[in-house]
Structure 1
Amino acid sequence: MSDALRETNFTFDPPADLYRGKVRDVYRRGDRLLMVASDRISSFDHVLPRAIPHKGQILNQIAAHFLHATRDICPNWLESNPDPNVAVGKACTPIPVEMVIRGYLVGHGWREYAAGRRTLCGVPMPEGMKEADAFPEPIITPATKAEEGHDEDISREDILSRGIVSPEVYAKLEEYTRRLFSRGTAMAAERGLILVDTKYEFGLLDGEVYLIDEIHTPDSSRYFYADGYAERQQRGEHQKQLSKEFVREWLMAHDFRGLEGQTMPDMPDDFVHSVTQRYTELYELITGKPFAPADTTNIEARIANNLATTSWKPA
Structure 2
Amino acid sequence: MSLADQVLAVNDDLPIRTDKPVHSGKVRSVYWLTEADSKRLIQEKGYNVAPDAPLAIMVISDRISAFDCIWHGEGGLKGVPGKGAALNAISNHWFKLFKDNGLADSHILDIPHPLVWIVQKAKPIMIEAICRQYITGSMWRAYEKGEREFCGIELPEGLQKDKALPELLMTPSTKGILKGIPGVPEADDVNITRKNIEGNFAAFNFSKAEDIAQYEKLLREGFGVISNALDAVEQIFVDTKFEFGYVTDAAGNEKLIYMDEVGTPDSSRIWDKQQYQLGNIVENSKEGFRQFLLNHFPDPDILLNKDRMPEREALARENELPLEALMDISKTYTGIAEKITGQPINLSDNPKKEIIDILSTQYGLVD
- The two structures have a TM-score, normalised by structure 1, of 0.91
Deviation at 1:291, TM superposition (A): 2.5
C-alpha distance 105-242 of structure 1, shift in aligned 2 (>3 A): same
Deviation at 1:230, TM superposition (A): 4.0
For 1:154, the aligned partner's letter is I
Deviation at 1:289, TM superposition (A): 2.6
SS in 2 for 1:198: strand
1:88 to 118, 129, 138: 118
The equivalent of 1:292 in structure 2 is 346
Residue 285 (structure 2) pairs with residue 282 (structure 1): no
The equivalent of 1:152 in structure 2 is 190
Structure 1: distance between partners of 2:219 and 2:266:
17
Percent of aligned pairs with the same amino acid = 30
The equivalent of 2:90 in structure 1 is 62
SS in 2 for 1:111: helix
Deviation at 1:279, TM superposition (A): 1.6
Is the 1:45–1:258 Cα contact (8 Å) retained in structure 2? no
The equivalent of 2:46 in structure 1 is none
Deviation at 1:11, TM superposition (A): 3.5
For 1:69, the aligned partner's letter is L
1:257 to 303, 308, 315: 303
Structure 1: distance between partners of 2:109 and 2:195:
34
SS in 2 for 1:174: helix
The equivalent of 2:130 in structure 1 is 100
Structure 2: distance between partners of 1:220 and 1:309:
33
SS in 2 for 1:257: helix
The equivalent of 1:222 in structure 2 is 269
Deviation at 1:12, TM superposition (A): 3.3
Deviation at 1:94, TM superposition (A): 1.4
For 2:260, the aligned partner's letter is D
Is the 1:46–1:258 Cα contact (8 Å) retained in structure 2? no
The equivalent of 1:36 in structure 2 is 59
The equivalent of 2:180 in structure 1 is none
2:143 to 97, 108, 113: 113
Structure 2: distance between partners of 1:185 and 1:119:
25
SS in 2 for 1:15: coil
For 2:55, the aligned partner's letter is R
Q: CA RMSD in A?
A: 2.0
Structure 1: distance between partners of 2:70 and 2:193:
28
SS in 2 for 1:242: coil
2:322 to 249, 258, 268: 268
Structure 1: distance between partners of 2:28 and 2:170:
26
C-alpha distance 267-231 of structure 1, shift in aligned 2 (>3 A): closer
Structure 2: distance between partners of 1:288 and 1:116:
43
Residue 211 (structure 2) pairs with residue 211 (structure 1): no
Deviation at 1:284, TM superposition (A): 1.8
Q: Deviations over 1:137-162 (max 9, x none)?
A: 10000111137x96221111122333
Deviation at 1:290, TM superposition (A): 2.7
The aligned length equals 307
C-alpha distance 13-285 of structure 1, shift in aligned 2 (>3 A): closer
Deviation at 1:120, TM superposition (A): 0.9
* Higher percent of residues as helix: 2
SS in 2 for 1:308: helix
The equivalent of 2:80 in structure 1 is 52
Deviation at 1:84, TM superposition (A): 1.2
Unaligned runs of 5+ in 1: 233-237
Structure 1: distance between partners of 2:21 and 2:284:
35
C-alpha distance 98-156 of structure 1, shift in aligned 2 (>3 A): same
For 2:231, the aligned partner's letter is A
For 1:104, the aligned partner's letter is Y
The equivalent of 2:354 in structure 1 is 302
Q: Deviations over 1:161-215 (max 9, x none)?
A: 3332342121111010000001011101111111111111011113321111111
Structure 2: distance between partners of 1:46 and 1:273:
19
1:7 to 3, 7, 10: 10
The equivalent of 1:202 in structure 2 is 244
Structure 2: distance between partners of 1:55 and 1:13:
26
The equivalent of 2:181 in structure 1 is none
* Higher percent of residues as strand: 1
Give the ranges of 4+ consecutive aligned residues of structure 1 lying more than 6 Å apart after TM superposition.
Answer: none
Q: Deviations over 1:28-68 (max 9, x none)?
A: 23521211110111111222243112211111111111111
C-alpha distance 123-310 of structure 1, shift in aligned 2 (>3 A): farther
Deviation at 1:6, TM superposition (A): 1.3
Is the 1:33–1:88 Cα contact (8 Å) retained in structure 2? yes
Q: Deviations over 1:106-140 (max 9, x none)?
A: 11211111111111111122211101111121000
